[in-house]
A and B are shown apart, each in its own frame.
Chain A
Amino acid sequence: MIGDFFSATGSLLSIVFSASFIASAIAFSVVMLFGTVGELITERAGHLNLGVEGMMLLGASMGYFAAVRSSSLFLAILFACVGAGFGALLYAILTVTLRVNQNVAGLALSIFGAGLANSLGSKVSNTSTPDNIAKIFKLKPFSLSSPSGPFLTFINKAFLSHNIYVYVAVLVAVVATVFLFKTRAGLELRLTGENTAAADASGIKVTRIKYFYIILGGMLCGIGGLYLPLVQQGSWTSNMTAGQGWLVVALVIFVRWHPIKAIAGAYVFGSLTILGFSVQLNERLSSIPIFNQYIMSMFPYLLTVVVLIAFSFRKKAWPGPKEIGRPYFREER
């Protein structure tokens, strides 16, 4: 019994630490990494946007539509930003200007976004990514041509053999960290989300800040979503984000509103998502009930739940930007 447990654990570890698993987990976490950084910036402005799923789909469909019709990568990214940014703009008008409850506005956005994206996507559902764009993402710019020794081979296969989109995602997280904690604009953003009245009183244009970062956050979600049809799958499927947008909302809490931690967080969630498939291929493990594919597909959600509960135990833990959920208005009494 115990021997079984150890050998099962051994098999699991050998899967999880194999270069090919790490490589696919990284590739799988790109969408969530972009989304997490985007949602995190939005929440730092004091706005919980539950519409991530909708914005990702909007970005994916508009961007992919543009890619198919124009064969231009630039236009694809531009339209992913326009689509998701438009969704975020609607959310901003509702929650910043019209003081609508953030939860309901976010849900409305995810329904609207999915509807518009699936309608638009159905026009390009029988096409694949144009060759010239697909070629760009077949390149592995940092891959070593002839790695020497097992260590370098491992590193090369796991971390260096990715397309440019993956590294841009990591770069965005790093830039967001520097911006958030080392610049004056980042400080103003954090202050707005922590205490809008104080930010307002100190002369910060809070409405402008909120609009700007909600839309910027939405655009990042859209760029993340675009990865799915354009690179990962190479074609459009309706509702192709398959709940990743909701995982992003959870991830932001998991990484404590910190973009650099989002890199690790997205990787953990990405690997949990694909673990079920990998385990299924291993005969020894797939016969054990808990390693069942469908049971394992619960793990990302279970982890989120555990994290939510764990942080409610820690009473002193920072509960996130304080203005989340509170509409702000200068009111004359």
Chain B
Amino acid sequence: MFRISKKESFSKKEAISYRLIGFLIGIVLSGIIIAALGYPVIKTFISLAEGSFGSAIAIRNTISFLIPLSVTALGLSIAFKMRYWNIGGEGQILMGATAAMGVSMIMPASTPGPLMMIAMLLAGFVGGSVWALIPGFFRIHMKTNETLFTLMMNYLAICFVQYLYFELWKDPAKMGFPGIQDIPFKARIPYVSGVSLAIVAPLIIVILVFFLIKKTKLGYEIRVVGESEPTAHYAGMNVKKIMFVGVLLSGGIVGIAGAVKLMGSTGTLSSSLGGGAGFTAIVIAWLANLSAPMIIVVSFLIAALEQGAQFIQVRMGVPAAVADIVKGLILMSVLGSEFMLRYKVVVGAHGAKNKLDAIPSDKEEVHHVEPIVETKENAL
């Protein structure tokens, strides 16, 4: 038969080429599914590209998709580096935006615009990090499963914002219709030749995150915790503190994404402000292998896909949900291609050389059962 063994090492070039192959497989599989749905494949892909890069407006729209996606993915990547499963991006975006909205509502109307903007961004950071630290606290101190906890926090945030939208912060000026007032005009991020200045946010944050992970002690500690918590512990690191700060930064940056979305595009708060960016950003972070500069590149591609999807829906009547098919399949095949990178498959090998490992099963032929390796390593 065949058996699988771990590769000793792989080069960066190999890593990139396997990812590209995975990416292409994902595109091909998407094409097959799109064809099976009865839509013209080539035309759909061309229109996707045209809708995202084909004109100045298209590129601007792509950039406006890029901003929240990349900032969120950068934030999440810090948590993922620690193998802390922060699936709560959507909720942290919403709570960041909620905090920023709240600040804009309580600050006196005479506050200078830049001051209000800074206060709102800070509030966004605080809102996101508090929302992330609630599950973080229980994960750190009681080993509560953070995957599910952060996931639930998304829905709690959505319900909470709906409560604000329909009840507590309902704008009386809307004559009984639900909705929250707009933020003051001076707190809105200006546009320069059609591109929101909010684009500065991912550009600054990518540098900060890159620097944090690669060049600081905390970044090193975060990576060690991600490799192995016990190792970090034996090395004398304060794992709880590292994790606390990591979760705080992760949620805070995601919260900023929410505040920026509020100030740069929506102008008011609603439960759809996140628009699924919290989930899509998870895909981006993993496709980029948690590397900060790569996150910007991948965000651009995924943003193009989302923008292109709007375009094909209007132009060709192909549902925008097709973008999710492409997204999901690309992620699956890139992740799957990692396998070829990390393991090698030996066909026709005769199994273990060490006969001690071989124990007979109840069948007649002899199976070789090697001891399993305890490994934390899995996906990437």
Contact = CB atoms under 8 A, between A and B. Distances in A.
A111 interface: yes
A302 interface: yes
A304 B322 CA distance: 32
B284 to A, nearest CB: 12
A315 B370 CA distance: 32
B190 interface: no
A308 B280 CA distance: 25
Given A331-B4, A333-B373, A313 B142 contact: yes
A30 to B, nearest CB: 21
Contacts, number: 197
Contacts of A48: 147
B211 interface: no
Interface in B274-294: 279-280, 282-283, 286
Nearest to B332: A108
Contact of B363 (A104, A107, A201, A203): A203
Interface string A298-333: 100110110011001100000000000111111111
Contact of B3 (A197, A298, A330): A330
Interface residues of B, number: 71
A122 B37 CA distance: 11
A113 interface: yes
B16 interface: no
Contacts of A249: 148, 151
Contact of A107 (B33, B87, B162, B166): B87
A167 B231 CA distance: 51
Interface stretch (B105-113, B259-267, B336-344): B336-344
Nearest to A116: B325
Contact of B155 (A100, A111, A123, A243): A243
Contact of B156 (A116, A301, A329): A301
Interface stretch (A14-22, A90-98, A185-193, A217-225): A90-98
Nearest to B317: A122
A212 interface: no
B348 interface: no
Nearest to B163: A294
Given A294-B166, A331-B6, A250 B325 contact: no
Interface string A101-145: 111110111111111111110110000000000000000000000
A289 to B, nearest CB: 9
B143 interface: yes
B4 A305 contact: no
A298 B159 contact: yes
Contacts of B322: 115, 119
A312 B167 contact: no
Interface string B309-333: 0000000001101111111110110
A297 B162 contact: yes
Given A100-B379, A203-B361, A115 B321 contact: yes
Interface residues of A, number: 64
B331 A312 contact: no
B131 interface: no
Nearest to A203: B361
Contacts of A333: 370-371, 373
B149 A308 contact: yes
Nearest to A304: B152
Contacts of A305: 149, 152-153, 156
A302 B368 contact: no
Contacts of B351: 332
A161 interface: no
| Contact residues of A: prevailing secondary structure | helix
B372 interface: yes
Given A111-B331, A309-B142, A301 B152 contact: yes
A246 B335 CA distance: 22
Given A98-B336, A309-B142, A329 B372 contact: yes
B238 interface: no
Contact of A111 (B143, B145, B279, B369): B279
B372 A302 contact: no
A301 B328 contact: no
B151 A332 contact: no
Contact of A330 (B148, B327, B342, B369): B369
Contacts of A253: 145, 148
A313 B353 CA distance: 46
B147 A201 contact: no
B167 A294 contact: yes
A295 B159 CA distance: 7
Contacts of A101: 335, 378-380
B324 A104 contact: no
A292 interface: yes
B323 to A, nearest CB: 7
B159 A297 contact: yes
B159 A301 contact: yes
A256 interface: no
Contacts of A50: 147
Given A100-B338, A108-B335, A292-B163, A118 B327 contact: no
Contacts of B160: 294, 298
A293 to B, nearest CB: 8
A176 B373 CA distance: 32
Given A331-B6, A333-B370, A94 B335 contact: yes
Given A109-B328, A115-B325, A200 B279 contact: no
Given A93-B336, A111-B331, 13 more contacts: A99-B343, A113-B328, A114-B321, A201-B359, A249-B151, A294-B162, A298-B159, A308-B138, A312-B138, A312-B144, A329-B372, A331-B373, A333-B370
Interface of A: 48, 50, 54, 90, 93-94, 97-105, 107-120, 122-123, 196-197, 200-201, 203, 238, 243, 246, 249-250, 253, 292, 294-295, 297-298, 301-302, 304-305, 308-309, 312-313, 325-333
5 contacts: A54-B328, A98-B335, A196-B372, A304-B148, A312-B138
Interface of B: 3-6, 33, 37, 85, 87, 138, 142-145, 147-149, 151-153, 155-156, 159-160, 162-163, 166-167, 279-280, 282-283, 286, 318-319, 321-329, 331-332, 335-336, 338-339, 342-343, 351-354, 357, 359, 361-363, 367-373, 375, 378-380
